[in-house]
Amino acid sequence: MRIKYPTKLLLFFLVSLVVVVSSPHMGYVFAETDYDEEIKQKENEKSDKESELEESEQLEYSYQKEGLSISERISALSKDLKGIEEDISSSEEELKEIEADLKKKEEKKKESEEKVAKVSKSLYKISRINVVEIILSAENISELAARIGFIKFGAGGLVSELRDYQEELSEVAASYNDLSESRLELERKREKLEEDQIALENQKRLYEQMAAAEASKQGQLVNEIASIVSDIDQLSTEAQEAMKDKGGGYEVPDGGGGETGGGTSPQQPMGDPGKYDVYRGSTKIASNVSGPVRIVPASGGYFSIDGGIGKYRGILEMRADTNVYVINEIDFELYLRGLGEVPSSWHMETLKAQSVAGRTYAAANWNKRSSYGYNLRDDVYDQNYVGYSKEIASGGDRWVSAVGATESKVLYSGSSIIAAYYHSTCGGHTLSSQEVWGGSRSYAQAESDWYNSGGWKSYDSASPWSYKRWCGGSSSSCTSAENINDDSVIDLLNAAIYLSADPNSSTRQSEVRRQDLGGLSPSQIVSKLGSGNTITDKVGMLQNVQSIYNGGSTSINSNSRKTEKVRVTGSNGTYDVDGASFWLVFNVRAPGTAHIFYSNFWTVKKESGLWNFYTRGYPHRVGMCQYGAQGRANAGQSYSAILAHYYRGTTLKSFSPPSIFRVGLTKVGGPTTIVSSNKSFDIYADGNKVTSGESGQTWKIVKR
């Protein structure tokens, strides 16, 4: 079960495939044979590839998310550009009006200049004639008055008029120049926005390319994992022949107990059960029959689906009005036998504890998927169900015995069955449901998994996720690209200080990303912080960095469960940086693929001159810790004591299932589902028998 990131069904399909084809006589079962080392190497190789696949999926998801964020920014820029285009268009219209007015003013000014020129000529002429002559030459009183007025006022009036036109022309020209400058400024803004838009579009394309590259990489990894699985299968078969009397087995526990989100499913539900064609081999036996199609085995029969990828007891049902291609209808206790949550080779008390937790979770969530016509899914969004494959895998009889030994037992808190969440690794301490999901549950409290043995150790220390450095696919694959030297850790601390001033600011969250992911450079972060606010300003020359856990301790104790601060010590003193801000900054700014997003409980250590960060626990850390349960069982604790520790204040009581149990299968089936059986079986369509099949025949149910 995971909380923060979607995990593709293909990964779980591959895990199931390993359980089906390679569980008999795997891994450390054959410590005395030459096959052991080869199988271990292949298992390690497969584990690394699976981790690399999961890392690639997380990267693809983050790249897609970044691409969507950039799309939003591009959309906002487009709106700004549209507004500027409208302003430019408006200014162009205004400029045209001013240009027309300017043209008129220039024409009037020109006319005025011509009048002044004429007056000047007249004045010059008049200046050479005696005034008496002007008076005497006038033919009448009106002409005389006009001549005197012209002499007295004509030149002055025209000059004044010319000055007025010049002033008006200057004002219009100034308005024109101002508007032209504003328009140029708008054009410069437009050019800048267009440049930003192009840059964002290029960045978006880069993220799309990076996401596509990860998707392509995942396809290659899937093929490589399938090849490794085939190799393990071959080695296991050879080992089985050589060591027939050996028992045990190994399956990878992947957590469980119910994803609160819901995940993706293989198909979109239709409004009715759909239509199907039924084939025996390549021969069509029935055409266009109405769903649901149900395949019912003879007593003791089980089905192999899609060439043996999955094996299942009970009835198989195919219908289009649900979100999976195949539903497995089965007795409740047989469903529990098919849970592939922990290795069958683990301690019997661990297996019993897991069987009770699985039964309790299913009982409490009986109607969780009722809207889709079944009870629970078969993956870690509910519980990892692998069907009959679990029973026939190496050591499967031990798991069957554990389920039988706890038959009908579930956990109650008061008068209610609890939602018995569980997970792979708690890293020394579980978390409460309140801390992880919100909502207080009395039975899902934070419980210590530390014990003192010359220092505090965790019961789940055998888990690969108990204390893990994440980069690439596993700690062993870390390269120089993930190295964090003094300069890098100082940059991370500065970015965390900057973010912690306003941790909810989306702008700051974007700015603290690594520069190649669109964030600020180290020098830009320093500039943003300003004088006196960098980590170097606060502590001087860097000397040490420590995790501060809940309670304020820099060392592990019995209550340690999460990292709250980062204490930085320098030549001039110490300074505490907010842990949540540093956690976010590390995940978006650390070099290479280094990250700590799987846990809020992490430890920083300086090793060989580099700063390394190790997380504790995986994934959600609520309820029973599977590796912790194994450690407790190895220490002599009973399954009831284990359950009492992880589920506070609960009691064991009997549970009677209200009906047959139905499981939505996400790992097998499709538009064409291939089925075979070890016994005869009958096929029904819409309640009517269509035909019967025999052992060993291959049948296809094809959705129309």
Residue 49 has pLDDT above 60, yes or no: yes
User: Which tens digit of pLDDT belongs to each residue from 592-605?
Assistant: 888 898 899 999 99
Residue 136 has pLDDT above 50, yes or no: yes
Mean pLDDT across 591-620: 92
Residue 157 confidence (pLDDT): 57
Burial label for 252, CB within 10 Å (0-12, 13-18, 19+), is middle
Phi, psi of 664 (to 5 degrees): -80, 115
Residue 39 confidence (pLDDT): 62
Task: Spell out a b/e string for 292-318, using b for 16 or more CB atoms within 10 Å of the CB, else e.
Answer: bbbbbbeeebbbbbbeebbbbbbbbbb
**Angstrom distance (rounded) from CA 595 to CA 605:** 15
Residue 85 confidence (pLDDT): 76
Which pLDDT band, with edges at 50, 70 and 90, does 165 fall under? low
Residue 222 confidence (pLDDT): 63
Residue 520 has pLDDT above 80, yes or no: yes
Name the least confident of 155-164, 411-420, 425-434: 155-164
β-strand pairing of 293-297 with 303-305: unpaired
Question: What letter does residue 151 receive in the DSSP assignment?
Answer: I
Residue 241 confidence (pLDDT): 39
Most confident of 123-132, 203-212, 244-253, 677-686: 677-686
Whether the full predicted model's pTM is greater than 0.85, yes or no, is no
User: Which tens digit of pLDDT belongs to each residue from 282-326?
Assistant: 999 999 999 999 999 999 999 999 887 889 999 999 999 999 999
Longest dimension (CA), the chain: 152
**Angstrom distance (rounded) from CA 16 to CA 9:** 11
Most confident of 3-17, 96-110, 253-267, 575-589: 575-589
3-state SS string for 260-303: CCCCCCCCCCCCCCCEEEEEECCEEEEEEEECCEEEEECCCCCE
Most confident of 81-95, 472-486, 686-700: 686-700
Name the least confident of 15-29, 39-53, 299-313, 561-575: 15-29
Residue 88 confidence (pLDDT): 79
Are 313 and 694 a contacting pair, CB within 8 Å?
no
User: Helices 34-127 & 155-242, crossing angle to 10 degrees?
Assistant: 170
CB-based contacts of 260, cutoff 8 Å, min separation 6:
3, 437
User: Which tens digit of pLDDT belongs to each residue from 557-579?
Assistant: 999 999 999 999 999 999 999 99
**Angstrom distance (rounded) from CA 164 to CA 414:** 98
Task: Please name each of the domains of the chain with its CATH number.
Answer: 9-23+249-449+622-703 (no CATH), 68-230 (1.10.287.1490), 475-615 (no CATH)
Which pLDDT band, with edges at 50, 70 and 90, does 31 fall under? very low
**Angstrom distance (rounded) from CA 362 to CA 308:** 26
Burial label for 561, CB within 10 Å (0-12, 13-18, 19+), is buried
Residue 460 confidence (pLDDT): 96
Residue 643 has pLDDT above 50, yes or no: yes
Question: What letter does residue 516 receive in the DSSP assignment?
Answer: G
Name the residue with higher pLDDT: 143 or 587: 587
